[in-house]
Chains A and B, each alone.
Chain A
């Protein structure tokens, strides 16, 4: 059975239908990309999947259970993690603390245990920190543990966001334009990191991405959104050859008569 099955998801803002009856099936262990022009509804679709918005219509089945309409923290607990298009780190917290916040749901310390420093808390805290350091190492932030998130260079902030998402122990990770604003070298590194998420950690990945080289190299399937609707879906080579997709990306300018 597929890990994620979204059926006819619709989300409107007032008169604007940002996501219009979009369906998406994601198999376990795959890397899937969602592409489309700006304003196509990609981020809104992510926001529906992660519970930031409730869908107006449609269903979302994750790992066999319906998650549509649940709160974001409940959905995260069940195994969907995400990053944000405009990096949303906890700026005035250190790198390791950002990751530790990601572990929140996976740690068990209760208020009373913390106040009385019970043995379980005293054991859990160092374990959590060790794990957080491992995750930071995994994304390539070894030794930057105690730096404030806001003081990290841009590329490292993107990495930190991925480490924080990994800390929630997800099965599925949603990456919203992870290479936006990166130079070619950084983009290459980010692409490798995304592949390692699947190959080494066994995660399923959904990617929103504008860089076509990245999309074409790493995705097994691609879905294309335009004006909130899914206009195409298929393997990279199929998408490359799809006339509607080409039109959505290039045609509009060309059709305007130049």
Chain B
């Protein structure tokens, strides 16, 4: 069962054996070096950045030892990306955004991919985390209880932990009413509940001003910059250091979520979720407590969003309700589906890919088309490339779903399953083909 590469592909040799080490290392060195030499934001740098990111995919697929993979991956994530980021803030911002959405996609994947509960209101938990820090770290807290002053920014870390629990609490709270629902019904009700949270954020400025309504919350505190960072990188200014710091925090949260989810997946709990997704009745007849396990899935998924919400609020320093609308939930779901439902590497890839498409690739295409247009002829007048970004995104999704419905990096098992049916179909064809002439 070859799941990675075609055995006859000319590149197969590059993927295993000693040559794999050489090829992989060379690719990473060359793309890293080229990228680090081109730091101006431009089409070229964008392409190099993506080629560089592709090395993570190669790393994942290559047949080299795990410790080597880990070492190279760590060097790229802890060394190359932040170093490049100090030279061009735009790209580290991209990396941070990607990190945030990867964590969200991993959280949603627990609910949708593992337990099979289609949740269209997931962004609500992200909002809860963001508003938690937004309210407590600003004057907004004084509006709620007169006289109270914002918490010290050092408490940020405590609030990240709090975000975990508040997220989980809301996960259970919004999970309770939908426990009996499945499929489409579940999707619609979670969509509604997600919107309820957003509408609450818009309207809870009266009678007591809790959320500051549609104006959003400004001047959200950031955690103090650790002194050792300044000492470590004396050449960098504070904004640069700050971005490195947020990047490190996001990377840490992503790392912890990946580890957590990986362990859960290969445990009694992960198996129970999968069983529920496969057949609820059989699962409950085998002693799996349905309600408990579903609530657990909602809680785990929501808790990641809660933590990331806190970090997001600190990074943006400004939050308002439109940030947490339905489109955002759908975007996160698209990451899960595009990458491969239930597959942890797939969902990570989906998160990075959709973020890049959203923030880099599609805007870049629009810019380049606009430039062409300004030069003259190619594009008709009525066509404004910037306006068609979302359409292009939708088109990509449709094409993906037609040609690779299981996602780009599907869960190994679902992948094999897809192939098993193909095998069976092929076999059936052969058999009937042989039967007819006789």
A38 to B423, CA, bound (A): 36
Interface contact B271-A88, CB-CB below 8 Å: no
Chain A: number of interface residues, binned into ranges: 35 or more
Instruction: Tell me the dominant secondary structure on chain B's binding face.
Output: helix
Instruction: Say yes or no: A150-B417 contact (C-beta < 8 A), given A88-B281, A91-B278.
Output: yes
**Distance (Å) between the CB of B253 and the closest chain A CB?**
14
Task: Name which residue of chain A comes closest to B260, CB basis.
Answer: A115
Task: Name which residue of chain A comes closest to B299, CB basis.
Answer: A111
Instruction: Say yes or no: A52-B279 contact (C-beta < 8 A), given A92-B414, A102-B286.
Output: no
Q: Quick check: which of A3-11, A68-76, A136-144 contacts chain B, the rest being far away?
A: A68-76
Task: Name which residue of chain B comes closest to A107, CB basis.
Answer: B268
Task: Name which residue of chain B comes closest to A149, CB basis.
Answer: B278
Interface contact A121-B267, CB-CB below 8 Å: yes
A77 to B284, CA, bound (A): 11
* In the complex, B269 has a CB within 8 A of chain A: yes
* In the complex, B258 has a CB within 8 A of chain A: no
A164 to B269, CA, bound (A): 17
Interface contact B283-A101, CB-CB below 8 Å: yes
A148 to B287, CA, bound (A): 21
Q: Quick check: which of B5-13, B288-296, B390-398 contacts chain A, the rest being far away?
A: B288-296
Instruction: Say yes or no: A117-B286 contact (C-beta < 8 A), given A100-B271, A111-B269.
Output: no
Interface contact B282-A90, CB-CB below 8 Å: yes
Mask: chain A, 69-104; 1 = CB below 8 Å from B; 0 = not: 001110011000110100011111110010011111
Contacts of B269 in A (CB 8 A): 109, 111, 114
* In the complex, B358 has a CB within 8 A of chain A: no
Interface contact A101-B271, CB-CB below 8 Å: yes
**Distance (Å) between the CB of B300 and the closest chain A CB?**
8
Which of B278, B286, B300 touches A104 (beta carbons < 8 Å)?
A: B286
A76 to B275, CA, bound (A): 16
Task: Name which residue of chain A comes closest to B292, CB basis.
Answer: A73
**Distance (Å) between the CB of A146 and the closest chain B CB?**
10
**Distance (Å) between the CB of A210 and the closest chain B CB?**
22
A109 to B272, CA, bound (A): 12
Q: For window 9-36 of chain A, which residues contact chain B by CB distance below 8 Å?
A: none
* In the complex, B285 has a CB within 8 A of chain A: yes
Contacts of A71 in B (CB 8 A): 284, 289
Which of A84, A92, A115 touches B278 (beta carbons < 8 Å)?
A: A92
* In the complex, A168 has a CB within 8 A of chain B: yes
Contacts of A107 in B (CB 8 A): 268
Q: For window 225-258 of chain B, which residues contact chain A by CB distance below 8 Å?
A: none
Which of A94, A128, A164 touches B286 (beta carbons < 8 Å)?
A: A164
Q: For window 142-192 of chain B, which residues contact chain A by CB distance below 8 Å?
A: none
Contacts of A167 in B (CB 8 A): 286
Instruction: Say yes or no: A101-B420 contact (C-beta < 8 A), given A52-B281, A109-B268, A115-B260.
Output: no
Task: Name which residue of chain B comes closest to A98, CB basis.
Answer: B275
Instruction: Say yes or no: A101-B416 contact (C-beta < 8 A), given A52-B281, A90-B282.
Output: no
A84 to B279, CA, bound (A): 12
**Distance (Å) between the CB of B114 and the closest chain A CB?**
12
Mask: chain B, 347-387; 1 = CB below 8 Å from A; 0 = not: 00000000000000000000000000000000000000000
A92 to B420, CA, bound (A): 11
Contacts of B404 in A (CB 8 A): none
* In the complex, A66 has a CB within 8 A of chain B: no
Interface contact A89-B282, CB-CB below 8 Å: yes
Contacts of A88 in B (CB 8 A): 279, 281-282
A115 to B286, CA, bound (A): 24
Contacts of A157 in B (CB 8 A): none
**Distance (Å) between the CB of A149 and the closest chain B CB?**
9
Which of B285, B413, B417 touches A82 (beta carbons < 8 Å)?
A: B285
Interface contact B267-A125, CB-CB below 8 Å: yes
Interface contact B279-A115, CB-CB below 8 Å: no
Contacts of A114 in B (CB 8 A): 263-264, 267-269
- B binding-site residues for A, Cβ under 8 Å: 260, 263-264, 267-269, 271-272, 274-275, 278-279, 281-290, 296, 300, 413-414, 416-417, 420
20 contacts between A and B (CB under 8 A): A50-B285, A73-B289, A76-B285, A76-B286, A77-B287, A84-B285, A88-B281, A88-B282, A91-B279, A92-B417, A97-B274, A101-B288, A103-B268, A104-B271, A111-B264, A111-B300, A115-B264, A128-B268, A148-B413, A150-B417
Additional A-B contact list (8), CB under 8 Å, known A88-B282, A104-B275, A148-B420: A73-B288, A90-B278, A91-B278, A92-B413, A101-B275, A104-B287, A109-B269, A111-B300
